[in-house]
């Protein structure tokens, strides 16, 4: 995932020092500098710079020394995760490659200013990295463009043994060492940094920090010609089924329409690969039945795919007329046994699971004999064309808690209705990245392993995956904070987190809006002390903090009871005093000045 963050900048300063934190938060958009000097070292493919051995066979742990003290990654653990030599790995929309090297061979470069040949146009550089110094390994490097200009980036690699599990690409269960194998999590990370949009990258100079190890890097291509019409954030890794030889038929509701479609499946937080058999898309008639025959999807030309742990798979573009404001059926067969899966728990929508067999192409609902109310594996549906998307980063209020199930009456749904009905601004797709119980700072889900906790990793830890890497994102709306103050976070911690979200999003060229925190007096954890912190965050957003964003949506003013401002207006209250009902959610969406969404 992205830049290493924790409980907000104040905590980071205490742990790592001010200089490092300032570097982490200085992710400003790249600015072209003078023409690059002609005397620069000739760039070479990254593998020509490999000078370190990170991977050992379990039977021969001494054949590698990743960290200078004999520690290394287990080749068997990597294979069990699907990270085999030469394997392509798509993470956060970037196609990377695990080095095609045998255990004990050089497989990574210790960053020391090497000039690396990299080609492509896009919105970010993605690095497959890890640090080995016991702390995050940072440094500045240079991107050189084909037109002779360049820009500077800062890269931070979390440590392979102590870095946060919430942001890792994959965690392995062992560390190999001179004295044998230790049961300890070894982490690898994918970190993205900005590049100048529209300019062709020609080469990259690595930072100078030999504790920073680079396994691969690539330009993440911009999603030209696509608009996100539906998406969901992975909220945790849960026990499911178990499902053996079953087909999932997931119901999703589109915001924008288009003449082509592709889907995205994620194996986030997983420790093992998952096999996806045949997959199809169809317009729903009713229940689990389709309007017309479901149309097969392919993955790199094949009818099935395997997704390594921590990676994702995009289906190939398919000519398929996706209607706006409609239900799609996305079906995929799981030929193996699946006992746990990355899920979005609070779907507020019923989906379906078949009996034994591959029923992805069935138009009938007959085979779909059981139901689920979560979205496993599926994280995105894109349509061809369109103006791009608005991403809503939120908690249970955005997720639709207490809205009418199956009716698509979440406030993001109503916002999508408004966008479709007007012509003043582009008719953006709307991507709902609310997670029930989510916070600005403080993970609910620990970021690794099977857990009953589905409150997600915090907004700082999921920002890269859930906002910056989303298809054609133009504007982000941040509506978070009530769970922070309900669980004891201070206004200073929330404000520091919101500042960081704005800075990192602006560095990638996104427009960023913030929403004030709505009242919740009457709910058990919404104490007077929590309300004081809430009001301090809101005062900052309405005052000095407004400068950090491109606009502020005053949702508190929309939904509070004028006669009792620390409570939700009774007409908008779902009854639990924390979540608005359908009328309150509609009021939030109706209050948005659509001109503020123009990216």
Dihedral sign for Cα 425, 426, 429, 434, please: negative
For residue 397, what pLDDT is reported? Answer: 98
For residue 64, what pLDDT is reported? Answer: 98
**pLDDT lower than 50: segments of the chain:** 1-39
For residue 39, what pLDDT is reported? Answer: 43
- Residue 568 forms beta bridges with which residues? 560
Token pair, residue 152, equals 């500077």
- Domains of the chain, residue spans: 9-220, 238-383, 387-599
Question: Within 13 Å, how many C-alpha atoms sit on residue 477's CB side?
Answer: 31
- Report CA dihedral (372, 375, 376, 380) to the nearest 10 degrees: 160
Token pair, residue 501, equals 């979200």
Closest residue by Cα to residue 110 from 60, 165, 160, 149: 160
- Residue 332 forms beta bridges with which residues? 248, 279
For residue 40, what pLDDT is reported? Answer: 61
Q: Which fold, 387-599?
A: Rossmann fold (3.40.50)
pTM: 0.93
Using a 10 angstrom Cβ sphere, with 0-12 exposed, 13-18 middle and 19 or more buried, the burial of residue 583 is middle
Distance CA 125, CA 478 (A): 24
For residue 26, what pLDDT is reported? Answer: 37
Who contacts 265 (Cβ-Cβ below 8 Å, separation ≥6)?
276, 307, 312, 313, 332, 377, 378, 379
For residue 161, what pLDDT is reported? Answer: 98
């Amino acid at each position: 995932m992205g830049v290493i963050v924790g409980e907000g900048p104040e905590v980071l300063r205490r742990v790592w020092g001010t200089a490092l934190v300032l570097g982490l938060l200085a992710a400003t958009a790249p600015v072209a500098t003078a023409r690059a000097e002609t005397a620069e070292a000739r760039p070479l493919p990254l593998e020509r710079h490999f000078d370190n051995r990170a991977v050992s066979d379990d039977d021969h742990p001494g054949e590698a020394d990743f960290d200078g003290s004999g520690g290394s990654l287990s080749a068997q653990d990597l294979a069990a995760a699907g990270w085999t030599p030469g394997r392509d790995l798509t993470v956060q929309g970037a196609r990377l490659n695990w080095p095609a090297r045998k255990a004990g061979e050089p497989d990574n470069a210790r960053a020391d200013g090497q000039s690396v040949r990299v080609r492509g146009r896009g919105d970010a550089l993605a690095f497959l990295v890890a640090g080995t110094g016991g702390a995050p390994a940072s440094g500045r490097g240079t991107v050189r463009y084909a037109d002779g200009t360049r820009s500077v980036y800062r890269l931070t690699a979390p440590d392979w043994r102590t870095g946060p599990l919430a942001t890792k690409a994959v965690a392995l269960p062992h560390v190999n060492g001179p004295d044998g194998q230790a049961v300890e999590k070894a982490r690898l990370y994918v970190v993205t940094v900005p590049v100048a949009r529209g300019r062709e990258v020609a080469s990259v100079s690595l930072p100078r920090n030999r504790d920073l190890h680079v396994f691969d890097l690539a330009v993440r291509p911009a999603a030209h010609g696509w608009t996100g019409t539906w998406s969901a954030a992975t909220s945790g890794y849960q026990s499911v089924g178990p499902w053996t030889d079953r087909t999932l038929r997931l119901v999703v509701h589109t915001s924008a329409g288009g003449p082509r479609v592709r889907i995205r499946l994620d194996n986030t937080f997983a420790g093992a690969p998952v096999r996806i058999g045949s997959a199809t898309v169809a317009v729903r008639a009713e229940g689990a039945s389709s309007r017309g025959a479901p149309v097969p999807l392919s993955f790199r030309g094949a009818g099935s795919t395997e997704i390594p742990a921590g990676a994702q798979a995009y289906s190939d573009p398919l000519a398929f007329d996706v209607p706006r404001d409609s239900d799609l059926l996305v079906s995929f067969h799981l030929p193996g046994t699946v006992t746990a899966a990355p899920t979005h728990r609070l779907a507020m929508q019923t989906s379906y699971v078949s009996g034994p067999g591959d029923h992805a192409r069935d138009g009938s609902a007959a085979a779909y004999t059981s139901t689920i109310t979560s979205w496993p594996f599926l994280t995105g549906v894109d349509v061809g064309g369109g103006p791009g998307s608005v991403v809503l980063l939120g908690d249970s209020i955005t997720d639709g808690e207490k809205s009418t199930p199956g009716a698509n009456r979440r406030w993001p749904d109503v916002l999508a209705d408004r966008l479709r009905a007007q012509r003043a601004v582009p008719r953006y797709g709307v991507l709902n990245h609310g997670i029930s119980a989510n916070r600005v700072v403080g993970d609910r889900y620990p970021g690794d392993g099977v857990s009953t906790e589905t409150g997600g990793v915090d907004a700082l830890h999921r920002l890269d995956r859930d906002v910056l890497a989303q298809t054609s994102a133009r504007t982000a709306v941040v509506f978070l904070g009530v769970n922070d103050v309900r669980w004891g976070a201070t206004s200073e911690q929330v404000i520091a987190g919101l500042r960081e979200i704005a800075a990192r999003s602006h560095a990638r060229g996104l427009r960023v809006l913030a929403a004030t925190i709505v009242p919740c007096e009457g709910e058990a954890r919404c104490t007077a002390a929590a309300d004081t912190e809430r009001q301090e965050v809101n005062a900052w957003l309405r005052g000095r903090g407004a400068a950090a964003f491109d606009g502020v949506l005053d949702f508190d003013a929309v939904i509070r009871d004028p006669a009792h401002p620390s409570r939700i207006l009774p007409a908008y209250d779902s009854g639990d005093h924390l979540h608005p009902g359908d009328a309150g959610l509609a009021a939030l969406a109706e209050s948005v000045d659509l001109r503020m969404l123009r990216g």
